[in-house]
Structure 1
Amino acid sequence: MADNSGDSASNNDQSVPEQDLLLPIANVGRIMKQNLPANAKVSKESKETMQECVSEFICFVTEEASERCRREKRKILSGDDICGAMQTLGFDNYAGTMKRYLEKYRQSEGGRANQE
């Protein structure tokens, strides 16, 4: 029998390759290029750095939202939980923008449900 007492990662963490935990680099590069002049180029290193940063940010916010759900004994994490986590973590400017987006998204989804 193998001794796993020294392993700090859970079995789920061990079975998922690190690359699968990151946003697709092509998408990250596309988003970066949208905010640059047409003739600008983005290095592979820049894309990889941004890929790691945004993936870590998403995990950070999601973990805070997940903790909120655990405290409230809920199993479903909602957009409101994400907005609340962003405020708790001090990202008030982003939380406000996210709340507005969430409201518009819900309105558009409501319109689609009424059309079906």
Structure 2
Amino acid sequence: IANIGRIMKKALPDNAKIAKDAKETVQECVSEFISFITSEACEKCKNEKRKTINGEDILSSIQVLGFEGYNDILKMYLAKYRESVRANGETVGVEEKE
């Protein structure tokens, strides 16, 4: 709930307050949204006989479920994330084929 509160505060004026039930409601909505998107991504993986959900699966799910307005910004975020991971010498895991 603390993270949700911080995110919500960024969208509000400095003097705004957020009731606990508002934070809890947003938390429930976010959890449901994550489950919705993940379930679609999982179906895609099953159909392709893969076990690991990757960033492309999430982007595809967002498109399929009608949230295509978020696709461009999420593609940019995913690219920056991968770039950051590679710059730190970590493995991203997206190139893995099962």
Q: TM-score range by the shorter chain?
A: 0.7 to 0.9
Structure 1 counterpart of 2:7: 31
Q: Residue 60 of structure 1: which of 24, 32, 36 is its match?
A: 36
- Offset, 1:29: 0.8
Output the CA distance in 1 between the equivalents of 2:13 and 2:7.
13
* Root-mean-square deviation over aligned CA pairs: 1.1
* Greater RCO structure (CA 8 Å; 6+ sep): 2
> Alpha-carbon deviations, 1:35-82, whole Å to 9, x = none?
111110001111111010011001000000000000000001001100
- Aligned AA for 1:34? K
Decide which of 23, 27, 31 is 1:47's aligned counterpart. Answer: 23
Task: Select the residue among 66, 89, 95 that pairs with 1:113.
Answer: 89
Q: Which runs of 4+ in 1 moved over 4 A?
A: none
The CA deviation at 1:95 is 1.9
Please, what TM-score do these two structures have when normalized by structure 2? 0.88
Q: Distance in 2 between matches of 1:100 and 1:92?
A: 14
Percent of counterpart pairs with the same letter?
Answer: 56
The residue that corresponds to 1:17 in the other structure is none
Report the counterpart of residue 84 of structure 1 in structure 2. 60
Matched, 1:100 2:82: no
Q: Distance in 2 between matches of 1:51 and 1:62?
A: 16
Q: Deviations over 1:75-110 (max 9, x none)?
A: 010011000100010111112211110001111111
Q: Which runs of 5+ in 1 are unaligned?
A: 1-24
